[in-house]
Chain A
Amino acid sequence: DAGVIQSPRHEVTEMGQEVTLRCKPISGHDYLFWYRQTMMRGLELLIYFNNNVPIDDSGMPEDRFSAKMPNASFSTLKIQPSEPRDSAVYFCASSFGVPYGYTFGSGTRLTVV
């Protein structure tokens, strides 16, 4: 099992540009989560899906953020337009049934200059 795969690992972009982060969950997992990690705020849940359907997006900071899960093996998190305060590490995680805990990807370190 390759685990949760995120791409790219690092992204540097200019303010105002569109950024798309990608995630491939573990095959068979029915939950997918997007988290953001910063020194100031720790790990924050942005949005999660169950069986490809968005369940809770209350953590999405602004309308500039959007997430999709077109099928069970792929999800994207898009920021448009990006701002310097969006700089953080973004993690995707997946789970088979929530009580068993999540498996995290290695993250995408986003720097907006």
Chain B
Amino acid sequence: GQQLNQSPQSMFIQEGEDVSMNCTSSSIFNTWLWYKQDPGEGPVLLIALYKAGELTSNGRLTAQFGITRKDSFLNISASIPSDVGIYFCAGLNTGTASKLTFGTGTRLQVTL
């Protein structure tokens, strides 16, 4: 099935650094979601975006719904060790199909 392209694929950063990752699609979505997956667990919803241009924060996390509706961005400020995991974007078009299309994931490693 279709997948969204995320970049970077993996990141190694030091504790305290800021992180940026993005997600791009050839298709337009009207909802963008960001999930985090810890080892051995299922993905957990972090942020949901419903309008082009929308900027939403959840603690140290900030996500944006791209103006073109074909991309989204996630920033993490002042990273901490528990930020380690895989971050997935997901797109949804509620008008045509009630199913999420997931990105390929960005693996984040945080060193002390």
Chain B nearest CB, measured from A9 CB (Å): 9
A99 at the B interface (CB under 8 A): yes
On whether the beta carbons of B105 and A42 are closer than 8 Å, the reply is yes
B65 at the A interface (CB under 8 A): no
How far is it, in angstroms, between the C-alpha of A93 and the C-alpha of B43 when the chains are bound? 10
Within 8 A of A (CB), among B51-102: 88, 92, 94, 97-100, 102
How far is it, in angstroms, between the C-alpha of A31 and the C-alpha of B8 when the chains are bound? 32
Known: A55-B98, A99-B31, A101-B33. A45 touches B1 (CB 8 A): yes
On whether the beta carbons of A33 and B99 are closer than 8 Å, the reply is yes
Number of interface residues of A (CB under 8 A): 24
B3 at the A interface (CB under 8 A): yes
Q: Which residues of B are at the interface with A, using a C-beta cutoff of 8 A?
A: 1, 3, 31, 33, 40-45, 48, 50, 88, 92, 94, 97-100, 102-105
Q: Which residues of A are at the interface with B, using a C-beta cutoff of 8 A?
A: 4, 31, 33, 42-45, 48, 50, 55-56, 59, 91, 93, 98-107
Given pairs A48-B99, A100-B48, 14 additional interface contacts (CB within 8 A): A31-B98, A33-B99, A45-B1, A48-B98, A55-B98, A56-B99, A98-B98, A99-B31, A99-B48, A99-B92, A103-B45, A105-B42, A107-B41, A107-B42
